[in-house]
Amino acid sequence: MLYSSVTPAEKRRRLRAQLSSGAMLVMPGALNPLSAKLIEEKGFAGVYVSGAVLAADLGLPDIGLTTLADVTTRSGQIARVTDLPVLVDADTGFGGPTNVARTVQSLEDGGVAGLHIEDQVNPKRCGHLDGKQVVDVATAVQRIRAAVTARRDADLLIMARTDSRSVDGLSAAIDRAKALVDAGADAIFPEALLDLGEFEAVRSAIDVPMLANMTEFGKSALYTTTQLADVGVNIVIFPVSLLRLAMGVASVALDTINEQGSLDSMLPAMQTRAQLYELLDYESYNDYDNSVFNFDLPR
């Protein structure tokens, strides 16, 4: 009821243990706290909070317009309602080394299990847009060192994302990934790799967990979790998938209202009232204090 009974520290320990086990961790991107609860109900290993989704939810493009406050607020809301570890897109850390440190501590206070800091210039762009620019290696390394130094819980996962593949090529991206690991990164997120061979090349070059971003309509080909596991990927995110599906269905629904004057034909595609109540755990609120929560649930 209300919020997760699992402490943030325990969620971080669990994430570390899962990664140490060698298991493939699949983390769909949550739209909001409610969808995070659904991700947990469906048995996934973790929840991802995408900067692109957060920006879109605010009606903004993913070009560095969201703030640290936006990210900490939404990720904290999501982390509080699920027992799963939450991994957060922290963009470039929202400034210089001190800003990166503040970002890490703010997200840590919000209860997330991990975050990634990227090496794009400020303001950043969506990782699958053309025209990206990355900072020099020294600046990228400085960001990760600032992040690692700032955390107070040693189990908080600090992941380094590099966008250098699209800018300088695969070899440069591998060299940068190695430098970021040397700087203290617990895991590597190589953005916009083109094929399985590139994932395998990065995997063989580093000795920390690696994340694969399976975002639709991007630069990376879409592979199954089994294919990615076979080349050594440890975490797979589907960052924007639920948003794209929800907006796609919403568009069809609005057209249906215009054309048919009713959504009766779309009822089979909807989450029922009973399913929503079960996901929200209405029953436990009712049991908690009938003198206050004195509503009846439909049977």
Q: 10 Å Cβ neighbour count for 28? A: 24
Measure Cα distances from 258 to 245, 262, 263, 268 in Å.
Answer: 20, 8, 10, 19
Q: Which residues are known catalytic residues?
A: 48, 62, 89, 91, 116, 118, 126, 161, 191, 213
For the chain, first and last CA: distance in Å?
Answer: 20
Contact yes or no for 187/216 (Cβ under 8 A): no
69 Ramachandran zone, left/alpha/beta (phi>0; psi -120 to 50): alpha
Helix-, strand-, coil-residue percentages of the chain, each rounded to 5: 50, 10, 40
Q: For residue 238, what are the β-bridge partners?
A: 28
- Cα–Cα distances (Å) from 272 to 113, 245, 298, in that order, read 32, 18, 12
Integer CA distances (angstroms), 58 to 39, 110, 118, 121, in order: 22, 20, 22, 22
Quick one: angle between helices 68-81 and 97-109, nearest 10?
A: 20
On whether the CB atoms of residues 42 and 61 are closer than 8 A, the answer is no
Q: Is the dihedral of CA 121, 123, 124, 125 positive or negative?
A: negative
- Kindly state the DSSP code that residue 265 receives in the 8-state scheme: G
Residue by residue, DSSP assigns 94-149 as SSSHHHHHHHHHHHHHTT-SEEEEE-BPSSP--TTSSS--B--HHHHHHHHHHHHH
